Structure 1
Amino acid sequence: MTESSSPFSESGKTESTLTITVVGASGDLAKKKIFPALFALYYDDFLPENFTIFGYARTKMTDEELRKMISETLTCRIDKSENCGDKMDHFLKRCFYHSGLYNSEEDFSGLDQKLQIKEGGRLSNRLFYLSIPPNIFVDVVRCASTKASSKSGWTRVIVEKPFGRDAESSRALIKCLKRYLNEDQIFRIDHYLGKELVENLSVLRFSNLVFGPLWSRDYIRNVQLIFSEDFGTEGRGGYFDNYGIIRDIMQNHLLQILALFAMETPVSLDAEDIRNEKVKVLRSMRPLQLEDVVIGQYKGHSNGGKTYPGYTDDPKVSKNSLTPTFAAAALFINNARWDGVPFLMKAGKALNARRTQIRVQFRHVPGNLYRNFGTDLDKATNELVLHVQPDEAIYLKINNKVPGLGMRLDRSDLNLLYSARYSREIPDAYERLLLDAIGGERRLFIRSDELDAAWALFTPLLKELEEEKIAPELYPYGSRGPVGAHYLAAKHNVRWGDFTED
């Protein structure tokens, strides 16, 4: 399977076609995220005139049954505009289904025949979205490559995480995929890179003079990357127990955000220039030590007459499971810009709030003139907060005088709340990433050497946790997490910033 020299962005004319095949079309991700994102792109006229969407899965289903399934998850949310119902009908008429096994070249050959009929002899560009477990990635890529790749245009494959369980399995997966695909055909998706505030991180830093000089160890005391969910595994216990919170969230989502935050100014906005700088950050990071990590697991809890189940109450999870549902870690970058600055990550399920934040705590003011006015210096530290989700916002915590005849200081926010500033609804991350894959834009997708560097950082820690059978600290469902996370932060002279907002 080879990449054609005719990218979609140059061939979006009537004589070209785009076919998007969602492999694993009957799964939750496809129903809840991928098909709605494709409809949103169609609604906003980001798909070409000649496009077709195919669902592929083992489930026996007709075209009409697929359309009915998709229609149940589509909404007219986009700007509450008119004619959404008509658009939805037109979109569904472009959706078709082909049932087949994931390892059957014959079934993919049948899919190819259907695609050719829809393409009608025009230049064909084909995008395969693998919404399937990683253990069948290679089978699908092999069959799609040999039997259903485009003969005249490009063929690209979007691969959903997880990309292996450790460095060894990740390298094996990369090697197998590259037997059938070139690196520039593989789009490894991390949907967090498509979120509006993560995209805005580079804009904030590189297009505002005020932040440039401050973005270093000279002014930044610590950086916090916080991910919390207020629910447990909820039916995903079998999958989650095989991976845990470190693999599921920290090694990919949070580490990718860290690399974007800490990278040097790229030569350009070209995808390879940006990814080169991210790889440099990952390779400069100090190997994770067990003493710089805290793990936890939520337990059952009763509150207000309602009982919340513990992690091991999930029927798909072993009663003796040591899989962490919470982890906190202190990471360090050994380069001139960030030497000595702790980057604290925290990720957990069944906590007291749902949020994803980037918090930048600046150093104390040297020789602070106002230190004798009863000010808590830790709380008075300037802090830049990027609220990734929900309620997207950027705010800067500053100190100011309370109006009046006395001298009393207050901490206030310079606040950009997206919902108040922008009337347009923020697109879902999958919309942006699908659009980029169609256009051949790789900036927000993960390169193989980037993936390898990320796994190299976490694999020794994961092996030690599992081989030593380190027991996670238990914390009640709906709490702030294990106490050990506070000791870890205190060890590096840090307070978790999200606690001031609860």
Structure 2
Amino acid sequence: MGFTADRLLLFGATGDLSQRMLLPSLCALHADDLLAPELKIVGTARSELSTSEFRNFAREALEKHLPAGRRGGVGTFLNRLSYEAVDATTQEGYDRLAKQVEGESEGLAIFLSTAPSLFEPTISGLSQAGLTGNRTRIGLEKPLGTDLASSQEINDAVAAEFSEDRIFRIDHYLGKETVQNLLALRFGNILFEPVWNSNYIDHVQITVAETVGLESRVAYYDDSGALRDMVQNHMLQLLALVAMEPPTSFDATAVRDEKVKVLRALRPVGSEDTVTGQYRAGAVGGAAVPGYDDELGKPSDTETFVAIKAHVDNWRWKGVPFYLRTGKRLPERVTEIVVQFRCIPHSIFAGRGAKTMPNRLVIGIQPEENIQFSLMAKVPGLDREGLRLRQVPLDVTMPHAFSDKIRRIAYERLLLDLIEGDQTLFVRRDEVEAQWEWIDAIRARWEESGEPPKTYTAGTWGPSAAIALAERDGVSWHDE
């Protein structure tokens, strides 16, 4: 893990992510005495602000975005903050930054929450100011490129100044408690791992559904689309955690070695195994909403929905389909993993008129964090008309199971790990490149076919072809 940084440099400190996530997360860590007293936080952006003005800006963000019960240390937290305006394309600002962070510093952590187009000039400026040495590590917020080639270009620019053990590529899903709990569920219990394979699992579904439309991301989203925005990073990371082999230990190298093996084992996706969609005007939550083309103000072939049938070609998962689905303007906001087990090989109850259903494990990630395992049980009664069985859920609702624990923002874990140097929940370069290789091949197939996305009404679960993608295998999406 190396050194613990006592200086944190936040690029993009006045941006949306900083207001909603970074400053609230750091303040919450401060209030819980998880930040070393000597840690100083230097914010930087293009805005011309004094330190006093930045502290007022931070206070407003904390009052708006930090839960009321976690605002105890706001006053003393603000004392950690200072500010330096920097134009990423000129050197003067970086030299002033160097004066702010040098002195008795033991180590520097840098968080880049800026447009990827600024990564290269920013790193160059940091280098010329002497801020990229061996006691500096850097955190990079996505997106890291739009394809393999642009991703490699960004990674090369970062690698020119930082060794891989000092590069922290962030996927905020890996900071979520339930995502980490997936590892605890699999590798901390003897119950699941023996049946976590193609002998017992029929299929896996991963859904990331959003009710929102474009909001403030018009230009970015139309250049990106659902495949790049959600599948390339969040969904493939979830798939890798579900499918990975047991690592030898819970450390950065062992965990990431196993994830990258899964990503490299992904079978190239055939054209018949993907469905793209784009929403049209409809209603979400009882409110009328415009179509994508109306929000954008012009026609577009960008997909706002994608469903994929994927396969991991290795011994453990041979023949088990992984159904991935994500989209905007869907009926509800939900991120979940569904592990559907196979039917029992023989039912002793069939002669008594009882129907059995296969077991199912549902891991809810957002908006609620929970784990539900369904199993068969007998309905109480004398059964003179025949035996009745019913699926009974075993629920572990995380906030209830751990009611004495604070529900943390995902970035709290990630920022603390960046400061302390633990890379376990960050994405390694070979993972990113394996993800892009798979995604680029899908996009190439789409471009080759020239077929535009199918339309779907806002407030529905996407195009009917997505339902058919699963139903032709006798599978229904988990929508209830």
TM-score class normalised by the smaller sequence: over 0.9
Amino acid at match of 1:210: L
Is 2:394 the counterpart of 1:414? yes
**Among 101, 107, 112, the residue aligned to 1:130:** 112
Residue 95 (1) aligns with residue 74 (2): no
CA contact (8 A) 1:288 1:458 kept: no
2:159 aligned with 1:163: no
Unaligned runs of 5+ in 1: 9-16
Equivalent in 348, 373, 377 of residue 369 of structure 1: 348
Could you tell me whether the CA contact under 8 Å between 1:40 and 1:78 is conserved in 2? no
Deviations 1:278-322 (A, max 9, x none): 1111111101222110111111125798421111122xx352211
Match of 2:319 among 320, 340, 346: 340
| Contact kept? 1:111, 1:148, Cα under 8 Å | no
Q: Give the residue type in structure 2 aligned to 1:123.
A: S
**Given residue 80 of structure 1, which amino acid in structure 2 is its aligned partner?**
G
Q: 1:45 to 1:338 in 2, by over 3 A?
A: same
Report the aligned-residue RMSD: 2.0
**Letter of the 2:406 counterpart:** E
Where 1:485 maps in the other structure, the secondary structure is helix
Q: Match of 1:113?
A: 99
Match of 1:278 in 2: 259
Is contact 2:284-2:330 (8 Å) kept? no
Q: Which residue is equivalent to 1:489?
A: 470
How far is the alpha carbon of 1:105 from its aligned partner?
Answer: 2.1
Q: Is the 8 A contact 1:58 1:99 kept in 2?
A: yes
Matched to 1:7, the amino acid is F
1:489 to partner: Cα distance? 0.6
In structure 1, how many angstroms separate the alpha carbons of the residues matched to 2:56 and 2:88? 23
SS of aligned partner of 1:80: helix
CA distance in 2, matches of 1:282, 1:372: 45
Instruction: Report if aligned partners of 1:125, 1:150 keep a CA contact under 8 Å in 2.
Output: no
Check the 8 A contact 2:6/2:107 in 1, yes or no: yes
For the residue of structure 2 that corresponds to 1:445, the secondary structure is coil
Distance (Å, rounded) in 2 between the aligned partners of 1:261 and 1:206: 11
Is 1:292 equivalent to 2:288 in the alignment?
A: no
| CA–CA distance in structure 2, aligned partners of residues 303 and 88 of structure 1 | 37
2:53 to 23, 40, 65: 65
Structure 2: distance between partners of 1:308 and 1:382? 38
Give TM-score, length-normalised by structure 1. Answer: 0.91
Distance 2:254 2:364 in 1: 27
When normalised by structure 2's length, the TM-score is 0.95
In structure 1, the partner of 2:376 is 399
Letter of the 2:69 counterpart: K
Separation (CA, whole Å) in 1 of partners of 2:350 and 2:228:
43
Residue 50 of structure 1 deviates from its aligned partner by 0.6
Distance in 2, Cα, partners of 1:337 & 1:306 = 45
Corresponding residue for residue 256 of structure 1? 237
Q: Does the aligned pair in 2 maintain the 1:202–1:260 contact within 8 Å? A: yes
Q: CA deviation at 1:231?
A: 1.3
Structure 1 residues 279, 304: closer, same or farther in 2, change over 3 A? closer
Identity of aligned residues (%): 39
Q: Deviation per CA, 1:247-287, whole angstroms, max 9, x where unpaired?
A: 11111101011111111111211210111111111111101
DSSP-derived class of the 2:107 partner: strand
Per-residue CA distance 1:11-45 (angstroms, 9 max, x = gap): xxxxxx61111111121011111111111111111
SS at match of 2:106: strand
How far did residue 373 of structure 1 move?
6.0
**Alpha carbons 1:6, 1:154 under 8 Å: kept:** no
> In structure 2, what is the Cα distance between the partners aligned to 1:288 and 1:365?
30
Q: Distance in 1 between matches of 2:229 and 2:355?
A: 37
Alignment partner of 1:351 is 2:330:
yes
Q: The residue matched to 1:238 in structure 2 has which SS?
A: helix
**Partners of 2:126 and 2:132 within 8 A in 1:** no
CA distance in 2, matches of 1:303, 1:293: 25
Which secondary structure state, in structure 1, belongs to the residue aligned with residue 377 of structure 2? strand
